[in-house]
Amino acid sequence: MDLYLPIANLPVNTVFIIGLGGLVGLLSGMFGVGGGFLTTPLLILYGIPPTVAAASAATQVTGTSVSGVISHLSRNTIDVRMGVVMVVGGTIGAVIGAGLFSLLQSIGQMDTVISLLYVLMLGSIGAMMAWESGQALIRMKTGARPPARKRRHHPLVASLPMRWRFYKSGLYISPLAPLLLGMVTGIMTMLLGVGGGFILVPAMLYLLGMTTQVVVGTSLFQVLFVTMAATLVHSLTTKAVDFVLALLLLIGSVTGAQIGTRISRRMQPEYLRVILAAIVLVVAIRMALGLGWRPDEIYTLEVR
């Protein structure tokens, strides 16, 4: 069954889009990531204009992260103070992202920058995750204990002025560090339609040195509110949020997320992370190849 998308201005196969949402939701439920990093490229491959894809994917991530945030709130595993600082940063980032968006569009380099960012981001995060989860697997098999952490947080973080106490994270650091981190993910949310969870989580662990128990909850908290901000900024600037597309994606992804959560409870986290690392790397490699291959269309049109 086909459905016409009023903002993207083209008909799409309903079953395909819901299925895509479902797949992304399944992954997000299983791995606790937003899944935007899969939605946007897949929508673009399907023929949805990149701007509409990124904007609507951001809206979708809002929906998929809601139930996660609620369950973390009830388990008291969110550092709200830290989260609010990052959301403020993320909102500023979304506005900066909007500026970058129109700049890149006017010089016609939007597609290239999106692809390059994806390759860099997914490539490095995927490689890091693969290495780390591989080590964890080996330790699990051999029964060796994980090596002790050498330092609390990165020296750069410690050198920033002004210090706040973040009790739940067990930190006494400058709020500028999470603010900047929030800004970076805000920009990426705006440009790529990703929640940025898979950047936030390692950064919170290894750069800020937050207590592990609150990392995932706080990252989801920031993702929820920053994707909301990005949806609003997109509505106001690019006007590219497609309500119907977002609704279709959400029908699939909220359902998939529930199923994914159940699967994840039956699997060992070490294996889950290896699988996630593999998926991230495959997407990164596919996009890297896409940059080098001769594209299907040499010419692109832009109304102006």
Partner 1 sequence: MPARALRLACLPAFALMLGGASAPHLVPDVSQRQIDIQYSFKGAELLLFGAIAYPDGRPPDKPADIVVVLKGPERPIRIREKQKVAGIWVNADSMQFQSVPSFYAIASSRPIEQITDERTTAIYELSITNIQLSPTSFSDTAEIARFERGLIDLQQREGLFVQRPGTVEITDGLLYRVRLPLSARVVVGDYTAETFLIQDGRVVAAAVRDIQVRKSGFERFVALAAERWPLPYGLAATAMAVLMGLLAGWVGRRV
Minimum separation from the CB atom of position 270 to partner 1 (A): 25
Binding segment for partner 1 (CB under 8 A), chosen from 129-137, 148-156, 157-165, 295-303, is 295-303
Binding segment for partner 1 (CB under 8 A), chosen from 130-138, 141-149, 202-210, 292-300, is 292-300
Note whether 241 binds partner 1 by CB under 8 A: yes
- Length of the chain measured in residues: 304
Largest CA distance in the chain: 62
CB neighbour list of residue 223: distance below 8 Å, 6 or more residues apart? 34, 61, 65, 185, 195, 196, 197, 200
CA dihedral 37, 39, 43, 49 (to 10 degrees): -60
Binding segment for partner 1 (CB under 8 A), chosen from 37-45, 79-87, 178-186, 224-232, is 224-232
Note whether 6 binds partner 1 by CB under 8 A: yes
Minimum separation from the CB atom of position 294 to partner 1 (A): 7
Note whether 231 binds partner 1 by CB under 8 A: yes
**Pairing mode of beta strands 171-173, 2-5:** unpaired
Q: Phi-psi region for residue 193, left (φ > 0), alpha (ψ -120 to 50) or beta?
A: left
Note whether 250 binds partner 1 by CB under 8 A: yes
Note whether 2 binds partner 1 by CB under 8 A: yes
Q: Are 13 and 1 in contact (CB under 8 A)?
A: yes
Note whether 236 binds partner 1 by CB under 8 A: yes
Out of 35, 41, 63, 175, the residue judged to bind partner 1 by CB under 8 A: 63
**Backbone φ, ψ for residue 137 (5° rounding):** -65, -45
Alpha-carbon dihedral sign for residues 265, 269, 272, 276: positive
Note whether 268 binds partner 1 by CB under 8 A: no
Out of 72, 95, 214, 234, the residue judged to bind partner 1 by CB under 8 A: 234
Q: Please count the CA atoms within 13 angstroms of the CA of 41 that sit on its side-chain side.
A: 23
At 230, list the tokens. 């990005």
Question: Which CB sits closer to partner 1, 60 or 169?
Answer: 60
Binding mask 64-103 for partner 1 (x = CB under 8 A): xxxx--xx--------------------------------
The Cα–Cα gap between 218 and 81 comes to 9
Interaction site with partner 1 (CB under 8 A): 2-4, 6-7, 9-11, 59-60, 62-67, 70-71, 108-109, 111-112, 116, 228, 231-236, 239, 241, 243-244, 246-247, 250-251, 254-255, 257-258, 261, 291-295, 297-304
